[in-house]
Amino acid sequence: MEQQLLGLFQQTQDTNEAPRRAAEAQLESLYANSGFPVALTNIACAQELPLPSRQSALTTLKRFVLRCWSDQYEDFQGPLLNPEIKQHLRPKLLVLATDDQRKVRGIAAAILGKIATSDYPEEWPELLENLLTFINGGNDAATNGALHVLNDVLDEGLGEDQFFSMAKQIVETLYKVATDEQRSFSVRSLSVCTFKSCVDTLGMMRGSHGTEIETFAQEAFNLWASFMTSVLEAVLSSTSDENAKGLVTLKIQVIRTIMQIRQHFPKLFEQHIEKMFGATWADMARSKDLYVDEFVHDAAEGRLVDLDSLPYSLDLYVLEQLDFVQSCLGHRIVKENIERAGFAPGGASPFSQMVYTTIALSQIAGEDSTMWEIDLNVFLSEETAISANYTPRTASGDLIMKLGELFPVQTVESLFDHTQRIFASAENTGLKESVLHLWDQLLNEYAEMGRPIADGIATSLLGYIVAAIGSSTEQQQFLRARGYSVAATLTKAMYTTIQDKVVELMEQSIRASTGDPSVIVQITALRTFQKYSDSVPREFLLPLQPNVIAAIRTFLAGKEDDDPEDSQDVLTELVETIKCVTTINYAAILDDSLRIGELLFSIGQNGIGNYHLLSIIRETFDNITEGAPDIYVPVCNKLMPIITQMMDVDANGVENPLNGLATEILETILQNGSSPLPQGLVATCMPRICRILLTSSESELVQSGCGVMKEIVRLDCAQLLGWRDASGKSGLEISLFIIDRLLRPEFSEAAAIEVGALAAEIVDKAGDQIGPVLPDLLRAVASRLLTATLPPFIQSLILVFARLVLKQANDVVNFLAGLMLGNRNGLEVVMSSWLANTSYFSGYEEIRQNVMALAHIYNLQDPRLAQIIVPGDLVIPTSTRIMTRSRAKQTPDQYTMIPVPVKIIKLLVQELGGSSEVNSTKFFNSTAADFEDDDEEGWEDVDNQLNIPGMSREELLALGASGRTSRQLDDATYNTLASFFKEVSSKNIGDFQSIYNTLKPEEQHQLSLLR
């Protein structure tokens, strides 16, 4: 078979499609042949064969293993491979995983890692011993492959017994390899990386074997600590040769491993924190010059990894150093050492040196500056912190904010000292921009926290900012842009101190936005009004509002030739600025000279697929209609012609590209409307909304259209009921047609997600007119629940019944009990779906209605409900193996089965538990000491009170009002729920005492808090 396979591999490389596909099909047909994997392995082991043939064999074998080795694999298709053949293949694959050829070794190691997840330890108990033998006695190639497999095994998770039996041997073997200077840096680094996986495994097992794990971790860390410290202390004089790059790789793995030890075993780390912090800080101070030379003055390529996927470029090492230093600063020992050394300026203290190092590492990298000049979007994504590109510049900003948090006065004084020295000397422009960049970060943080800086420093700093703004060369464009940015941030933080200069600063920003030759400066100057509008009194902003809008128009006019696809971040920032500027005076939307509505729609037309951009446009209209209710009717009159134009189809029946945006904005406007709506608005909107809901299948468009109709019913059902379309059909009749279409099983659940809310609103507001068709409507909703799978869609349908239950619970239950949906009873269908999805409900009002409806249903004490059995509590599986994601997928959840009344009580206790005033008061009135883990006692970076800038505890309590995990019930609903439990308990309604005895201890405890 081997010769046949070699021929097929060659044919799969044929440039002609027919023979290539034929060869691939023939390979597929061999999967059922038990000799197929053996032949593939034989080819891979034949070192005399060309490398491409061996690779092809292993690649094919990898696909075979995923499909046929174990039925635990997600890609398993079968047939399942014979156990005897598996036994024959495992040792051969282990040899291949230690082959001298890296490409062979890499694929074989990946195959073995996958096999180990299913076979170890039950079917392959000797695997770990075999791997350790290769690691101990093999050459670098063999050790490399064995380490990769061991890493996969550790990452996938071992049973506790298996890990404990081998842990000491594994850790000592890895230490031996890591400290062997005769080994390559690559193998030593991989060994440290594998030790990091051991630390993760120990951390996961710590909860169930605390003392044993702590003892073993202490021994392991004591063994490794001096070596890791010595690696951190090793001097890095260059990064030009392979040895230097290898040392960087080793340093990165060591520092990452230490971070994992700190995370899982902070007490153990504390014993060595002084030395390890000192070594890292000293090396960072030394490395900064190398980094600046390579990545700032030059444009070295960064974020590089080797063939083992281990990073080796200096920028990544500096990044790890910055993160490590920041993470240690809050510890008592480090903080006390810094304070003991003092805060002498001019680099005379370690603290001053740290601040200067942060400035140096915060400079714009050469590669970044080139990219920013080419692509304004990249510049903005970095400036607005939405880029996933975490760089030393970003980390330096985080570090200065951490220093400012721990040493607020000293950080400001030290940063200002270095600012004076940098601007007074002939320092390069990059350092000036860098120090102002850190001021930007620090001042913004201080402003959010309400923490001022000294007036004298603020005034002097403004002088340096003005100097930066006054720079004029092309090479100074980033410094100039930073000057405008910091001016706005300083205004935000210290307005009262510099208020006499603020109007002039704002006027300079407007002039720069249209007159500066650099687009980077122009866009930055415009963005400053996002801060000015929130910091400066309205009377000073009002005269400038038209000028800012005009400047945005001018900027856009200069970008007309640009491809909109290449300007999305630019457009987003412009809309964000418009949103902020309109808050100065909402009535500006009515100004014909400004034409803000048209401006927003014109920007939206260039960002049809940009959800973030369109959401900010919606927010702008939302702010206007919510913030200025006194001009709601004029705003509607102003915007409706624009909106309806966008919602119309052209003469050829083609929709306007802005139809979706216009419909969403119409929904937003109506959400902020009052009852009744302006006369004629329904007649204007409904023909267009009907066209959407009766013809479109586009999810977001249908959702918005349904939302518009729901708001019309909510605010002015009478106007809808009185409206008729061109054919004479009534508003109610058309509404029912629409609901019928959206409830059809073939219609997308995502698109119809609002249909339940629409139906509930019509049932609630249409009164007697809905009566004759109500049974048919409820039958349609219940039928759709049979096939519904999307939780938000299910919630929408359930709330139709919930709102009716609040008015006539008994009638609803009787109706459903008499309804047959196929071979299932309607009451069983609705209650099963309702109770299974209650925990996923979202929305403040929706959760309130749901809670109260369930209480009503329980109080009916209807025996038909007790006969319906539904899933109850999750059954937690008992296993000594660490539960990884892949194992979790292989083990479906199992539940106890309980009657509906018991499930209702459990769900209502859950709601009570998430909203208990007793619990929330206890938590928010406690200090950090009440919750402090003994392992964290040396860490002082957690303040004794919640310290989220600009937010009170009451505001924090209100966060997540539409979510599940952090919301609170409103007082009325909470009190209703508390009264419900007190009543059913005291009167034993529905045999509550028996149900109470079946509750879990934590559920019983929650109810005891009500007494």
* pLDDT tens by residue, 559-568: 877 888 889 9
Q: What pLDDT score does 936 carry?
A: 52
Q: Which of 302-306, 526-530, 676-680, 930-934 has the lowest mean pLDDT?
A: 930-934
Task: Please indicate whether residue 382 or residue 912 has the higher confidence score (pLDDT).
Answer: 382
CA dihedral 604→607→609→613, nearest 10 degrees, is -70
Q: What pLDDT score does 651 carry?
A: 83
For 142-166, what is each residue's pLDDT tens digit? 999 999 999 988 887 666 777 778 8
Phi/psi of residue 950, nearest 5 degrees: 75, 10
**Average pLDDT of the residues of the chain:** 90
Q: Check residue 483 and give left, alpha or beta (phi > 0: left; psi -120 to 50: alpha).
A: alpha
pLDDT exceeds cutoff 70 at 571: yes
Alpha-carbon distance of 102 to 440, in angstroms, equals: 48
Classify the C-alpha dihedral 438-444-446-447 as positive or negative.
positive
pLDDT band at 184 (very low <50, low <70, confident <90, very high): very high
- Stretch 790-807: mean pLDDT, rounded? 95
pLDDT band at 14 (very low <50, low <70, confident <90, very high): confident
- Stretch 437-448: mean pLDDT, rounded? 97
pLDDT band at 968 (very low <50, low <70, confident <90, very high): low
- Stretch 30-46: mean pLDDT, rounded? 95
Q: What pLDDT score does 598 carry?
A: 96
pLDDT band at 129 (very low <50, low <70, confident <90, very high): very high
Q: What pLDDT score does 565 carry?
A: 83
pLDDT exceeds cutoff 50 at 856: yes
pLDDT exceeds cutoff 90 at 972: no
**What b/e sequence results for 734-766 when a residue is b if at least 16 CB atoms lie within 10 Å of its CB, and e otherwise?**
bbbebbebbbeeebebebbbbbbbbbbbbbbbb
Q: What pLDDT score does 850 carry?
A: 94
Return the axis-axis angle of helices 429-449 and 477-515, rounded to nearest 10°: 70
pLDDT exceeds cutoff 70 at 914: no
- Stretch 684-709: mean pLDDT, rounded? 95
What share of the chain has pLDDT > 70, as a percent?
Answer: 92
Alpha-carbon distance of 265 to 255, in angstroms, equals: 15
Alpha-carbon distance of 477 to 430, in angstroms, equals: 11
For 641-671, what is each residue's pLDDT tens digit? 999 999 999 888 889 999 999 999 999 999 9
Q: What pLDDT score does 50 carry?
A: 93
Beta bridge pairs of residue 825: 820
Q: What pLDDT score does 930 carry?
A: 38
Tell me which long-range contacts 883-891 makes (C-beta under 8 A, separation of at least 24): 883/157, 884/117, 884/156, 884/157, 886/72, 886/74, 886/117, 886/156, 887/157, 889/74, 890/72
pLDDT band at 208 (very low <50, low <70, confident <90, very high): confident
Q: What pLDDT score does 981 carry?
A: 94
Residue 392 makes CB contacts below 8 A (sequence gap 6+) with 291, 295, 315, 318, 319, 322, 361, 362, 365
pLDDT band at 416 (very low <50, low <70, confident <90, very high): very high
Alpha-carbon distance of 202 to 13, in angstroms, equals: 46
- Stretch 474-493: mean pLDDT, rounded? 97
Q: In 385-537, where does DSSP find H-type helix?
A: 392-406, 408-424, 429-449, 455-470, 477-515, 519-527, 529-535
Q: What pLDDT score does 879 carry?
A: 58
pLDDT band at 597 (very low <50, low <70, confident <90, very high): very high
- Stretch 186-197: mean pLDDT, rounded? 96
pLDDT exceeds cutoff 50 at 942: no
Residue 126 makes CB contacts below 8 A (sequence gap 6+) with none
Q: Which of 111-120, 515-524, 536-545, 630-639 has the lowest mean pLDDT?
A: 111-120
Q: Which of 247-256, 298-307, 348-357 has the lowest mean pLDDT?
A: 298-307
Q: What pLDDT score does 938 carry?
A: 66
Q: What pLDDT score does 881 carry?
A: 55
Q: What pLDDT score does 587 carry?
A: 97
- Stretch 776-781: mean pLDDT, rounded? 95
Of 63, 45, 62, give the one whose Cα is nearest residue 54.
Answer: 45
pLDDT exceeds cutoff 60 at 318: yes
Secondary structure of residue 1008 in the 3-state scheme: helix
pLDDT exceeds cutoff 90 at 889: no
Q: What pLDDT score does 922 carry?
A: 35
- Stretch 76-102: mean pLDDT, rounded? 93
Residue 381's identity, in one-letter code, is S
What share of the chain has pLDDT > 90, as a percent?
Answer: 79
Q: What pLDDT score does 13 carry?
A: 87
Q: What pLDDT score does 971 carry?
A: 76
Task: Please indicate whether residue 929 or residue 455 has the higher confidence score (pLDDT).
Answer: 455
pLDDT band at 827 (very low <50, low <70, confident <90, very high): very high
- How far is residue 428 CA from its own chain's centroid? 38
Q: What pLDDT score does 891 carry?
A: 62
- Stretch 786-809: mean pLDDT, rounded? 95
Whether 180 contacts 138, CB under 8 Å? no
Alpha-carbon distance of 1006 to 918, in angstroms, equals: 10
Helix, strand, coil content of the chain in percent (nearest 5): 70, 5, 25
pLDDT band at 950 (very low <50, low <70, confident <90, very high): very low
Whether 285 contacts 353, CB under 8 Å? yes
- Give the end-to-end CA distance of the chain in Å, rounded to a whole number: 78
- Stretch 233-257: mean pLDDT, rounded? 94
Alpha-carbon distance of 862 to 441, in angstroms, equals: 62
Q: What pLDDT score does 60 carry?
A: 95
